[in-house]
């Protein structure tokens, strides 16, 4: 399995789309940080040149929170391409014909795919922090500051990795980069998932009398909890179980279907 993981790492860092998505992510992080200051300036009806966000209580962490908000969408797009390419190129079929264990193939891809949100988050965080430090004059990098953001960033990354398990599963189930991208994009879109879950809640309530919302157990609910760390008691109680289930359940479904299904 280690050999397969090394092969997947090689493929990851040799895909041009990985770097294209990284550049897009950096651009979006910069635009988001710049746009936020411009938005505040327009609200206060003054020039952004005279708006001092540091005096208003903003820090580099606020810049990071805004910048990393683009990670999920970009990650969903690249992961769809990264996973589905193995089917369109015939790589998975060739490996299966040679007798390669399909569970090894699946979990090697999944393990390496978990690096993507970690790297994209770090890249986006550093970019947004650097730009916020310049535009907002909020530079601060002492040990106390670092300690205050490590856990929230860790929480954010865990949620991204839980999403990643879903994205990989969708890639293996669809076997098409087009379908995988469309589905994963929809799953990572707050607006679309809110509409879908709202419809599911309506059906459950109308047909079965179930009043509890599905949203309580949807991973997207935790996408922005890093904003207000430490976690509220209500969220802290279910966070470990929900995130763990989104790691495990999609992995089981995806690997089992890949094991049973014929590769064309």
Model confidence at 141, pLDDT cuts 50, 70, 90, reads low
- Which of these ranges, 34-38, 66-70, 114-118, 206-210, has the smallest mean pLDDT? 206-210
Model confidence at 16, pLDDT cuts 50, 70, 90, reads very high
179/173 Cα distance (integer angstroms): 10
Q: What local confidence, expressed as pLDDT, does residue 22 receive?
A: 94
Helix, strand or coil, per DSSP, at residue 137: coil
For residues 127-131, average pLDDT: 87
Question: Is the pLDDT reported for residue 88 higher than 90?
Answer: no
Prediction pTM value: 0.86
For 36-84, the pLDDT digits (tens) are 777 776 766 666 565 666 666 677 777 888 888 889 999 999 999 999 8
DSSP string, 166-230: HHHHHHHHH--HHHHHHHHHHHH-HHHHHHHHHHHHHHHHHHH---S-GGGG-GGGGTTGGGGPS
- Which of these ranges, 25-34, 59-68, 230-239, has the smallest mean pLDDT? 230-239
**Average model confidence (pLDDT) across the chain:** 82
**Which contacts (CB < 8 Å, 24+ apart) does range 69-74 have?**
69/32, 70/25, 70/28, 70/29, 70/32, 70/124, 71/25, 71/117, 71/120, 71/121, 71/124, 71/160, 72/160, 72/163, 72/188, 72/223, 73/185, 73/188, 73/189, 74/21, 74/24, 74/25, 74/28, 74/120
Where in the chain are the domains?
Answer: 2-188+224-260
The residue among 147 and 220 whose pLDDT is bigger is 220
For residues 231-254, average pLDDT: 85
């Amino acid at each position: 399995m280690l050999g397969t993981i090394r092969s997947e790492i090689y493929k990851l860092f040799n895909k041009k789309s990985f770097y294209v998505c990284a550049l897009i992510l950096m651009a979006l992080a910069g635009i988001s940080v710049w746009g936020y200051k411009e938005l505040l300036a327009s609200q206060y009806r003054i020039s952004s040149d005279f708006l001092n966000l540091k005096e208003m209580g903003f820090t580099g962490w606020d810049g990071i929170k805004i910048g990393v908000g683009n990670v999920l969408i970009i990650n969903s797009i690249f992961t769809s391409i990264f996973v589905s390419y193995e089917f369109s190129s015939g790589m998975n079929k060739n490996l299966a014909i040679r007798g390669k264990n399909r569970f090894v193939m699946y979990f090697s891809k999944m393990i390496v795919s978990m690096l993507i949100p970690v790297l994209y988050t770090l890249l986006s965080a550093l970019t947004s922090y650097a730009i916020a430090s310049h535009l907002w004059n909020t530079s601060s990098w002492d040990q106390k500051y670092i300690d205050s953001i490590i856990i929230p960033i860790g929480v954010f990354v865990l949620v991204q990795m839980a999403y990643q398990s879903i994205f990989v599963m969708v890639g293996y189930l669809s076997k098409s980069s087009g379908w995988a991208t469309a589905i994963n994009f929809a799953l990572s879109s707050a607006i679309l998932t809110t509409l879908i879950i709202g419809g599911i809640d309506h059906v459950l309530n109308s047909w079965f009398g179930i009043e509890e919302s599905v949203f309580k157990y949807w991973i997207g609910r935790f996408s922005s909890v890093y904003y207000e760390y430490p976690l509220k008691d209500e969220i802290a109680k279910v966070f470990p179980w929900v995130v763990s289930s989104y790691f495990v359940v999609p992995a089981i479904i995806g690997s089992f279907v890949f094991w049973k299904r014929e590769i064309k």
